[in-house]
Structure 1
Amino acid sequence: MTQIIVHPKIALVDEPLHIRVTGLLPYELVILEAKLTDEKGMIFESQVFYKADEGGEINLEHAAALGGCYMGVHPMGLFWSLKPRKILSRLMKNNVINSPFLVHLSVYNSQMFLESQKSLKTSETVERWYSAPGVERIQIREGRIRGALFLPPGKGPFPGVIDLFGGIGGLTEFRASLLASRGFATLALAYFAYEDLPSELNVVDIEYFEEAVNFLLGHPKVLGPSIGVVSVSQGAQIGLAMSVYLKQVAATVCINGFFFAAGCMIKYRNENIHPIKVVLERLRINDLGLLEASSAFENPREEANKHCLLPIERAHGHILFIVGEKDGNINSKSYAEQMIEQLRRYGKSNGTLLSYPGAGHLIEPPYSPLCLASWNPFVNKPLLWGGETVLHAEAQEHSWREILKFLRYHLSPASSSKL
C-alpha cells in the first residue's frame, strides 16, 4: 500500500519536514502534489514528477525531482514552489495564533495531467504554524501605538523586536508571531492604513516609532536596555531611520530597503528628510503587464538629492542589510552597497551586507513560496517583485538563520551596541 510518511506532521513554517513515499512499484513514475487553501479561499499548489527507487520508495532528502515545478534534490520544494491558481495572489497568513495552514500532500499516477480523472494513490495533511504553543498575542492600542504584541511562552524577560512591513499598509503579523516562537518579544507595528492611523503614508514621524520602542522596553517581559527592528521595503527606510535617531535600537534588519526618504517625508523632532523625486517615465510595464519600478527614483548620490539621504553614519547600533539581486521593485543591491560605502566613509563598521543572486524583493521566512508579482492596494498596476524560484528559496532559508543569529547576538545581555 502506498503511503506518505511525514515527520513532523505539525511544525512551525520555518521548520523543514522529512517526506517519504513508500509502497510504490520499483522505478514507478508518480506526481507529488502539495495544495493549500488560504483564509480567502485562494488555492496554492505545486506538482512535481518523482521516480521511485528499486525498493519502491521516494525519499525527498535524496531523490531528485524530474520535472514539474522544479528539478533536482530539494527536500522542501513542494512548499516553496507553491503557485496560486489565481495569478497575482500572495500567500499571507492573517490568523497566526488560532489556526495553521493545512497543506495536503498527495501522490498521483504520472498521467494525471492527461487523464480526465486523477488517479490518487495516497494523501496526507500537515499543519504549518506561525506560532508555537504558548505564544501570546496582545492587541495594542496604547497612546498612538497600534499593533499586536507577541510574547514567547515562559517568564522571560525576552529580547524585544519591532517588526515593520512596507507599502501594503495595515497590520501584518506572520513574521512577528514566528519571531516570538523563536524567543523574541515582538511588536508587529502598524503605521498607516489601519484603524485610526493615517490612511496614506505622506509623513513618517519617527516619534511615533520612538513611542513604540519605549512601550516595548517598558513591558515587564522585555529585556532591555535595547531592542531590534526587522523591516522590509518601505518599512526598511523606517527601520534605518530608527537606527539613526533612536539610541535604544541596537540591531536593525533592513530587507530590500532605501537609505533615503522615498514616497514620504521622514521627520524626527526638528529634523526633516525630504522625499526623493520619482521619475515617472522610468517606470516600465513589462510584457506581462507588471509594473517594474526599480529605476523610478532619481540618483540619490547627486548633489541635488543630498537633503533626501538618511545620515546612516549616525546609526547607534548594528545594521544587517539583506538584498535580492533580482529585486524588480527597487534597485536594492546598489542601494545597500552605497549604504555600506557611506558607513565606511565615516569610519564605521557596523553594517553587514548579505546579497543573494536570484532572490526577489519579498524575502520572507523559509519555505514561503516566491511571490513574483502581486497587487498593492495603493497602486493601480500589479507590481513585479522579482526572483527565481529556487534561488529565492535558498535566500529565504539562509537569511532567516542569519536574522535570528544577528538579533540574538546584538540583543543578548552580554552584547554592547556602542560603536
Structure 2
Amino acid sequence: MLKIGRVLGGARRASTRTSYAIHKFYNSTHTSEVSLEISPRICLFDVPSRITIKGLEPGIPVTLKSSLIVGPNENEFVSHAHYVTDDKGEVNVNQDASVGGSYEGVFPTGLLTTLEPAPGVSKYARCLKKNASTPDIVHVSLYKGHLPIEAHFVEDASSRPEEVVSCDWERHSMAPGVRRIPVRDGRIRGTLFLPAGSGPFPGVIDTFGAVGGLVEARAALLASRGIAAFALALFAFEDLPQNLLRVEMEYFEEAVDYLLSQPGVIPDRCGFVSVSLSAFIALACGAWMDRVKAVVTIGGFHFFHESHVTYKDKEYFGMSFDRSQVFVKEGEEKALIGEDLLGNTLDPEHPLIVPIEEASDDTYFLALAGDKDAMYLYKGVDTLQRRMSDRGKSDKIRTIVYSDVGHLLEVPYTPDVGYLWQIFTPKFAKSIGRKGVAVLYGSAQSYQYSLAQVQHWHEIRNFISHHIRDESPWYQNYIDEQHV
C-alpha cells in the first residue's frame, strides 16, 4: 500500500465535460440520490479529472474501485481506495485522504496510477496501450464499507459486494481531428499521427524498447499536443525481424525521410523520442544523421547493447550486461541486480558509448531517468554528461534524474509498474542459463512517479517544440513570409 500526503497538480484540463452516475440509496434513516461525478469524464490521457461522491450519510466508510481491461488478452487491472464521507456525506478525491486500499493520503490520480493486475491475471502483466484508435474505459464504482480488492473476485458471484453507483471514465490518446495513418513504406513500419489543422508542425520519431511491436499511445498524444509523431516499430512486428541483434541504421534514416516528406511537417529537421533499449538507436541517429536535431532518451542505454550496428562505413558490436550482476535464487523468478551491472560502460571513454559528440553543433540531447532504475541506467545519464563536458559540449545535453522513479516513465496518469517479465536476448539468455526473469521496472512510489510523469511530459514537448520548430531556419522563413 502506498502512503502519500501531498496534492498532485499543475496539469491543465482539455475538456470540461462532466458525467454523473446517480443511484437511489436507502437505509432506515437516510434516503437520497447518490451521485458519482467524474469531471471531465471524457478526456485525453494527460488531463487530470476530479472525482466526487455526493448523497451519502456523513461519516460512513466507502470504497472506490477502478477497473480497466487492456490488450488482446483482455487483462484486467484494478485499484481501490478507502474513504470516509465528510459531514455532508460527500467525498472529494482531489482533497480528501484515502485511509487504505491501494494508497493512503491525498492522491487525485491514485485510482489510475496504482492500477495493477487483478487477482487471476499474471502479476507481470503490463498495462500498456499499443493501439491509439480506441480509448481506455476505466470503470469506477462505489461500494459501502472498506473492502479488500479480493472481495470483488470471489468465485461465488452472489457473494461479491453490491455496487452502489458507477461511472465509465473515457480516456483518449487521440484528440479530435488528429489523423492516424498506418505506414507501410518500403521496409519501414509504423503509424504516423498528424495534429489537427494544416501545420506546419514539428515532427518526431517515437520508439519504445524491449516490448517490441508497435506502440502508438505516446505518439498519438504528442500529435494531440501539436507535434507530428511517427510511431516506428523496431522489431517483432509484421515482417520486421524478431529481435534487435542486427540494427541497420539506414532503416531509421528512411523513417526520417518519410516523416520530413509529409505535407504539414516542418521539412528541414526532426526529433527522436526513445525509451530503454531504443535509446542507443536514437542517440546514434542524433550523432550521425544531420536532420535529427533533438533527441530524447528515457531510462535509456547510453551504449550499443548486444546489437550489431551498421551505418555506412560505421560498425559496432554491442556488449551485454555483466551476467555476474544478475542474481536469481533457486526456484524464484525475481532478479536481484547488482550495482555493477553496467560495468566499465560508465567510463566516459568506453569505446561502445554512442559517440554523440559527433553530432552537428545545432543538435541537442535530453536524457531522462529515474534514480530507482533497477538496471542503474540513470548512471549512464551522468556518463553522457561527462563525455560531452570533456569535449567542451556540455551545453548540447541536458540531463534530469527523477527521485523515486524506476526504469519506465510514461505519459501522465498511466499506471506505475512493478515487476515485468524480461525476456533476454539469445546471447545473454545462453550466458545466464535462463530465458528471462522478473525485473523491477517501477519504483513502488506511485505518487512520485505521477509527479515525474507530468514534469517529464512538459520537458519533452517543450524540448521538441523549441529545437525542431523555433530553431528551424525553414520555419523562421515561413513565419517571415506570413508577415510580408
Bin the TM-score by the shorter chain. Answer: over 0.9
- Aligned partner of 1:104 in structure 2 is 139
SS across alignment from 1:407? helix
- Aligned partner of 1:224 in structure 2 is 267
In the alignment, does 2:86 pair up with 1:53?
A: yes
- Aligned partner of 2:64 in structure 1 is 32
Change (3 A) 1:400 1:258: same
Equivalent residue in structure 1 for 2:110, among 70, 74, 77:
77
In the alignment, does 2:383 pair up with 1:338?
A: yes
In the alignment, does 2:355 pair up with 1:311?
A: yes
Change (3 A) 1:169 1:111: closer
RMSD: 2.1
In the alignment, does 2:248 pair up with 1:205?
A: yes
For residue 184 of structure 1, report the CA deviation from its aligned partner. Answer: 1.3
SS across alignment from 2:108? coil
Query: With structure 1 as the length reference, what TM-score do the two structures score?
Result: 0.93
Partners of 1:3 and 1:22 within 8 A in 2: yes
Partners of 1:274 and 1:307 within 8 A in 2: no
Partners of 2:130 and 2:214 within 8 A in 1: no
Structure 2 unpaired stretches of 5+: 1-32, 152-158, 425-434, 475-484
Change (3 A) 1:307 1:187: same
Q: Percent same amino acid at aligned positions?
A: 37
For residue 358 of structure 1, report the CA deviation from its aligned partner. Answer: 1.1
Aligned counterparts, 1:17-416, within 5 A: 17-39=49-71, 40-85=73-118, 86=121, 87-97=123-133, 99-113=134-148, 116-285=159-328, 289-293=333-337, 295-301=340-346, 306-316=350-360, 317-328=363-374, 330-348=375-393, 349-376=395-422, 378=424, 379-388=435-444, 389-414=446-471
SS across alignment from 1:6? strand
SS across alignment from 2:344? coil
TM-superposition CA deviations, 1:294-346 (whole Å, max 9, x none): 6434311569x833121121233111111011111x21121101111111111
Structure 2: how far apart are the matches of 1:171 and 1:281?
Answer: 32
For residue 276 of structure 1, report the CA deviation from its aligned partner. Answer: 2.2
In the alignment, does 2:13 pair up with 1:4?
A: no
Structure 2: how far apart are the matches of 1:266 and 1:174?
Answer: 28
Change (3 A) 1:403 1:292: farther
Partners of 1:259 and 1:312 within 8 A in 2: no
Partners of 1:360 and 1:372 within 8 A in 2: no
Partners of 2:69 and 2:137 within 8 A in 1: yes
Structure 1: how far apart are the matches of 2:412 and 2:346?
Answer: 34
Partners of 2:278 and 2:301 within 8 A in 1: no
Structure 1: how far apart are the matches of 2:471 and 2:146?
Answer: 59
SS across alignment from 1:177? helix
For residue 285 of structure 1, report the CA deviation from its aligned partner. Answer: 2.4
Structure 1: how far apart are the matches of 2:291 and 2:270?
Answer: 6
For residue 234 of structure 1, report the CA deviation from its aligned partner. Answer: 0.6
TM-superposition CA deviations, 1:262-292 (whole Å, max 9, x none): 1213222111222124322211226962234
Partners of 1:147 and 1:188 within 8 A in 2: yes
SS across alignment from 2:381? helix
SS across alignment from 2:378? helix
- Aligned partner of 2:156 in structure 1 is none
Number of aligned residues? 414
More divergent stretch after superposition (312-321 vs 225-234): 312-321
Q: Which amino acid aligns with 1:263?
A: E
Query: With structure 2 as the length reference, what TM-score do the two structures score?
Result: 0.81
Q: Which amino acid aligns with 2:59?
A: Y
Q: Which amino acid aligns with 2:351?
A: H
Q: Which amino acid aligns with 1:205?
A: E
Partners of 1:283 and 1:292 within 8 A in 2: yes
Change (3 A) 1:69 1:353: same
For residue 48 of structure 1, report the CA deviation from its aligned partner. Answer: 0.5
Q: Which has the larger radius of gyration?
A: 2
Q: Which amino acid aligns with 1:178?
A: L
Structure 2: how far apart are the matches of 1:310 and 1:120?
Answer: 55
SS across alignment from 2:87? coil
TM-superposition CA deviations, 1:230-270 (whole Å, max 9, x none): 10001111111111111111111100112211121322211
Structure 2: how far apart are the matches of 1:415 and 1:72?
Answer: 46
Structure 1: how far apart are the matches of 2:284 and 2:319?
Answer: 15
For residue 208 of structure 1, report the CA deviation from its aligned partner. Answer: 1.3
Structure 1 unpaired stretches of 5+: none
SS across alignment from 2:345? coil
Structure 2: how far apart are the matches of 1:301 and 1:56?
Answer: 57
Structure 2: how far apart are the matches of 1:301 and 1:84?
Answer: 35
Structure 2: how far apart are the matches of 1:331 and 1:140?
Answer: 35
Change (3 A) 1:5 1:288: farther
For residue 91 of structure 1, report the CA deviation from its aligned partner. Answer: 0.9
For residue 384 of structure 1, report the CA deviation from its aligned partner. Answer: 2.4
Partners of 1:112 and 1:119 within 8 A in 2: no
More divergent stretch after superposition (397-406 vs 228-237): 397-406
